[in-house]
Amino acid sequence: MGKSQNGENLGTDGVSDGGDEKNNPDELSSEPCFKFDQILKDVDQFIEKFDSGENNFTCIDQFLEMVDSEIAAYELREASAKFGLNMEEDASFFEVVKRLSTIIRRLEELPSDSGAASCVNRAGSAHHRAMLLSESEFRTLLDLNMDRNEGDPRSKTEEEFPYFSTESIAIMNQIASTMIFAGYEAECCIAYSGLRLKALDAELSKLSFENINVDDAERMSWESLEVEIGNWIHIMRHCTNNLFSSERMLCNSVFSEHPSIAQRLFCELATSLTMRLLNFPNALVLPRQYSTEKLFKFLDIYEALLDLNNMEIGNNLSAKEFVSETSMVQCRIGETAVSIFSQLENSIESDNAGRIPVAGGAVHPLTRYTMNYLKYACEYKDTLEQVFQKHNEMEELTVDKVPENYTEKDDRCLQASPFALKLMKVMDLLDANIEMKSKLYRSHSLRYIFLMNNGRYILQKIKESTDIYDMLGHSWSRKRTSELRRYHKLYQRETWSNVLQTISHEGVQVNGKVSKTILKERFKNFNALFDEILKTQSTWVVSDGQLKSELRVSISSVMIPAYRSFVGRFQSYFDNSKQAGKYIKYQPEDIEELIEQLFEGNTTSMVRR
Tell me which of 204 and 116 has the higher pLDDT.
204
pLDDT in tens, 143-154: 854 444 334 444
State how far the Cα of 140 lies from the Cα of 254, in Å rounded to an integer: 15
Q: Are 426 and 444 in contact (CB under 8 A)?
A: no
Per-residue pLDDT of 439-461, as tens digits, reads: 999 999 999 999 999 999 999 99
Mean pLDDT of 262-283: 93
Can you tell me the mean pLDDT for 253-278? 94
Return mean pLDDT, the chain. Answer: 84
How many C-beta atoms surround the C-beta of residue 264 within 10 A? 20
Inter-residue contact 126 to 67 (CB < 8 Å): yes
Region 169-197 average pLDDT? 95
Higher pLDDT, 413 or 345: 345
Handedness of CA 448, 450, 453, 454 (dihedral sign): negative
Amino acid of residue 473: G
pLDDT at residue 84, rounded to an integer = 83
User: Does the pLDDT value for residue 289 go beyond 90?
Assistant: no
Q: To which H or E segment does residue 478 belong? A: helix 474-502
Q: Identify the pLDDT of residue 46.
A: 65
In this predicted structure, the answer to whether residue 124 has a pLDDT above a threshold of 50 is: yes
Q: Are 331 and 323 in contact (CB under 8 A)?
A: no
Closest CA to 453 of 475, 440, 463, 438: 438
Alpha carbon distance, N-terminus to C-terminus of the chain: 89
**In this predicted structure, which of 274-283, 318-327, 528-537 has the lowest mean pLDDT?**
318-327
On the CB side of 556, how many CA atoms lie within 13 Å of its CA? Answer: 17
| Main-chain phi, psi angles of 509, to 5 degrees | -95, 145
Whether 178 contacts 249, CB under 8 Å: no
- CA separation for the pair 549, 598 (Å, rounded): 10
One-letter identity of residue 482: S
User: Is 80 or 531 the better-scoring residue by pLDDT?
Assistant: 531
As a whole number, mean pLDDT of residues 300-329 equals: 86
pLDDT score of 316: 74
The domains of the chain are located at 33-145+162-182, 365-398+414-596
Residue 428 pLDDT grade (very low, low, confident, very high; cuts 50, 70, 90): very high
Residue 557, CB-side half-sphere exposure with 13 Å CA sphere:
7
Count CB atoms within 10 A of the CB of residue 517: 8
Residue type, 256: S
Please give the residue that has the higher pLDDT: either 460 or 412: 460
pLDDT over 60 at 25, yes or no: no
What residues pair up with 513 in beta bridges, in sequence order? Answer: 510
Residue range 462-472: average pLDDT?
92
Q: SS3 string of 5-38?
A: CCCCECCCCCCCCCCCCCCCCCCCCCCCHHHHHH
E-strand spans in 95-192?
none
Amino acid type, 109 = E
Instruction: Give the mean model confidence (pLDDT) for residues 360-382.
Output: 95
Torsion angle defined by CA atoms of residues 46, 52, 53 and 54, in that order, rounded to the nearest 10 degrees: -50
pLDDT at residue 104 tops 90: no
Sign of CA dihedral 25, 27, 32, 38: positive
Mean pLDDT value of segment 279-304: 91
Is the pLDDT higher at 607 or at 519?
519
Q: How far apart are alpha carbons 229 and 231 in whole angstroms?
A: 5
**H or E stretch including 581?**
helix 577-583
* Residues facing 510 on adjacent strands: 513
Which of 41, 38, 96 minimizes the C-alpha distance to 67? Answer: 96
Name which of 149-163, 270-284, 582-596 the model is least confident about: 149-163
Bridge partners of 541, per DSSP, are: 600
The CA radius of gyration of the chain, in Å to the nearest whole number, is: 44
Confidence of residue 418 (pLDDT cuts 50, 70, 90): very high
Of the candidate ranges 136-145, 155-164, 263-272, the one whose mean pLDDT is the lowest:
155-164
What's the pLDDT score for residue 313? 77
Asked if 309 and 326 touch (Cβ cutoff 8 Å), the reply is yes
Phi-psi region of 507 (alpha: psi -120 to 50; beta: other; left: phi over 0): left
Phi, psi of 316 (to 5 degrees): -85, -170
Q: Which helix (H) or strand (E) holds 301?
A: helix 295-309
On the question of pLDDT at 607 being above 80, the answer is no
- Domain 365-398+414-596 belongs to what topology? Monooxygenase (1.20.1280)
Residue length, the chain?
A: 609
SS3 category, 600: strand
Compare 213 and 104 and report the one with higher pLDDT: 213
Q: What is the mean pLDDT of residues 571-593?
A: 87
Whether residue 108 contacts residue 178, with contact meaning beta carbons closer than 8 Å, is answered with no
Give CA torsion, residues 508, 513, 515, 518, to 10 deg: -10
Average pLDDT over residues 296-312: 92
3-class SS letters over 357-369: CCHHHCCCHHHHH
Q: What is the pLDDT of residue 153?
A: 44
3-state secondary structure 399-413: CCCCCCCCCCCCCCC
Q: Closest by alpha carbon to 494, among 594, 609, 591?
A: 609
Per-residue pLDDT tens digits for 34-48: 466 666 666 666 666
Q: Give the model's pLDDT for residue 28.
A: 45
In angstroms, the CA 164 to CA 168 distance is 6
Residue 600 backbone phi and psi in degrees, to 5: -90, -10
**Band (489; pLDDT cuts 50, 70, 90):** very high
Beta bridge partners of 514: 509
Of residues 406, 598, 579, the one with CA closest to residue 499: 598
